[in-house]
Each structure stands twice: as structure tokens, then as C-alpha cells.
Amino acid sequence: MDLIPFIRNIPGFPKPGIIFRDITPMLANAEAFDYAIDKMIEPFVHAKIQKVVAIEARGFILGTVAANKLKAGFVPIRKKGKLPFKTDLESCSLEYGSASIEIHADALKEDERVLLIDDVLATGGTMAAACRLAERQKATIAGIAFLCELDFLGGRKLLQNTIHSVLHF
């Protein structure tokens, strides 16, 4: 199945010069959504994933479904101040600014096999920060999966683990 027709390009969002890759048309199509998740997790189905760790907000949509398909738990990584329990914080650089993300301090166990998921790999700053959070909790990162990768931004170079992207722009 070709997923490209289900990804809408929004020029100038969130600021001029950026083309936002909108996945909501794909999410609205049950067959495309199911196919996309299957393709995202395909390299990891035999990796004995125990937790899927996903980044707010679109990563949650993909990550919860992936966790369910992998029979794994789900762990959210959120923007600073959004999680209710004790957290671990990491700062990151974005394509158009900077941010801080958090994970619950007790979210992952030592040597627990995790798959990190987000919708788009752009500059790699957010996912690199998410990896640092997982590593601080001594989890084993089995891989990283994205629906889309913006190759021209080179975000892959910031990541050390096995990376799988379904679509490349």
C-alpha cells in the first residue's frame, strides 16, 4: 500500500519555511492506519519488546497501537509539567526551537527492552533526548521507529540505535 497519498503537506506550519507532514488523513483511514503501524513495527516483531515509549502527541497515537500489536506496555514521554508523578527531565533542540521532555521516574526497568516511536524524524533532537531518558533508566533500546523521516534534515546522525522509518521525504 502506498501511504504517501495519506500524508498531507502543510506549507508554512508551524512557521514560514517549514512543510508540516500531517498524518491525520492516514489516521482517518482504517486500512492505511493499520498498514502504517504494521510497517513501523515490522523490524521489531521478534525483538521481545516489553515497552513502547512514545513522544507526545502524535507519537502517542502510533505508539499505543504499536504497543498493543506487540503485546507490550506503553510509556508516554511528555512536555515538561504534563506528567503527574516524579519525573526525569531532558532538554532538546527542535527544528524550530527548543523544549524539555519528561518521563515518569519509574517508567522503565533496568534491561527492559524498549522500542521508541514518534511520527516524524526531523532534526533528531527530541528522539535523542527520549533515548537519553530511557538510557538513564537503564532500559535497553531495541530500536527506534518513525512513520516519516525528513532525510534532508539529517536527524538520523544524532541517534545511535537501530532506526526504521516507513516513509522518507
135 is known as an active-site residue: no
Measured between alpha carbons, how far is 56 from 2 in angstroms, rounded to an integer? Answer: 26
- Which of 21, 56, 58, 90 is labelled catalytic? 58
56 is known as an active-site residue: no
Residue 4 β-bridge partners = none
- Which of 95, 113, 135, 156 is labelled catalytic? 95
CA 53, 127, 59, 34 torsion: positive or negative? negative
Strands 113-121 and 140-149: parallel
Strands 19-22 and 8-11: antiparallel
Task: Please give the positions annotated as active site.
Answer: 58, 95
